[in-house]
């Protein structure tokens, strides 16, 4: 709770250009007495234009490169930069079970075309790619059997570097199992696609995907 409250106050100070002191926030009751609830460790991370460090992306890269068994990703947009792309490539080359799920029905056609371009490369590398049958707004990352990230950040450049985003990394086998089950259930309502799926795309679609990928840094 303190971490989330502190993020809110940081955003408030950035937006209002106010330089209020932390002690004043405590005295005004903005930080209530902390309580221990549950047994899971939670790490809250925020990123945005107020920092030159892409904290959420770096946390994701760390989690992915340290994975031993599996990496499950659900995201609305998937437009990775070179660092994130390399982390996934290293993971799958190391024998990690990497799966990525995006919606089959997007809200932004241009971003979706760029997403499909990157997903084609993921499939070529041996990563399992799923198109959820409907609209999917989840932003989750499951690592091995004991780590889960749930937040507002999509796996794309805008979310990593431009938007104000936050995520909670939960260290818990119980929570991991719950969300892994949700992911696997969503797989039954998804179309798994591979090299053949992308090869069958019309030439016009392939050209549009390439163009949107070139422009993806502007999205």
CA–CA distances in Å: residue 66 to residues 5, 44, 99, 200: 30, 19, 16, 35
Between 35 and 104, name the one with better pLDDT.
104
User: Three-state DSSP class for 21?
Assistant: coil
User: What average pLDDT does the segment 22-31 reach?
Assistant: 60
128-132 and 190-193 beta bridge pairing: antiparallel
pLDDT at 17: 72
Which structural domains are found in the chain, ordered by start? 1-37 (no CATH), 39-218 (3.30.870.10)
User: What average pLDDT does the segment 66-85 reach?
Assistant: 93
Please name which of 174, 166, 155 lies closest in space to residue 216, comparing C-alpha atoms. Answer: 155
What's the Rg (C-alpha) of the chain? Answer: 19
Q: What is the pTM of this model?
A: 0.82
pLDDT at 218 over 70: no
The pLDDT tens digits of the residues spanning 148-180 come to: 999 999 888 878 877 888 999 999 999 999 999
């Amino acid at each position: 709770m303190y971490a989330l409250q502190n993020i809110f106050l940081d955003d408030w100070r950035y937006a209002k250009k106010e330089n209020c002191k932390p002690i004043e926030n405590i005295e005004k009751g903005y930080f209530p007495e902390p309580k221990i609830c549950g047994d899971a460790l939670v790490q809250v991370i925020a990123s945005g234009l107020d920092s030159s460090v892409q904290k959420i992306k770096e946390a994701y890269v760390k989690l992915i490169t340290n994975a031993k068994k599996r990496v499950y990703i659900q995201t609305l947009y998937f437009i990775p930069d070179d660092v994130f792309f390399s982390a996934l490539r290293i993971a799958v080359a190391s024998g990690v079970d990497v799966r990525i799920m995006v919606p089959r029905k997007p809200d932004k056609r241009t971003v979706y075309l760029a997403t499909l371009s990157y997903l084609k490369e993921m499939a070529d590398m041996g990563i399992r790619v799923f198109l959820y049958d409907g609209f999917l707004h989840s932003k989750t990352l499951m690592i091995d059997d004991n780590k889960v990230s749930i937040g507002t950040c999509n796996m794309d450049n805008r979310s990593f570097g431009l938007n104000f985003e936050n995520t909670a990394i939960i260290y818990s086998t119980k929570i991991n199992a719950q969300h892994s089950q949700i992911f696997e259930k969503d797989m039954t309502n998804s179309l798994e696609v591979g090299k053949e799926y992308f090869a069958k795309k019309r030439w016009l679609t392939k050209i549009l995907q390439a163009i949107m990928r070139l422009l993806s840094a502007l999205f």
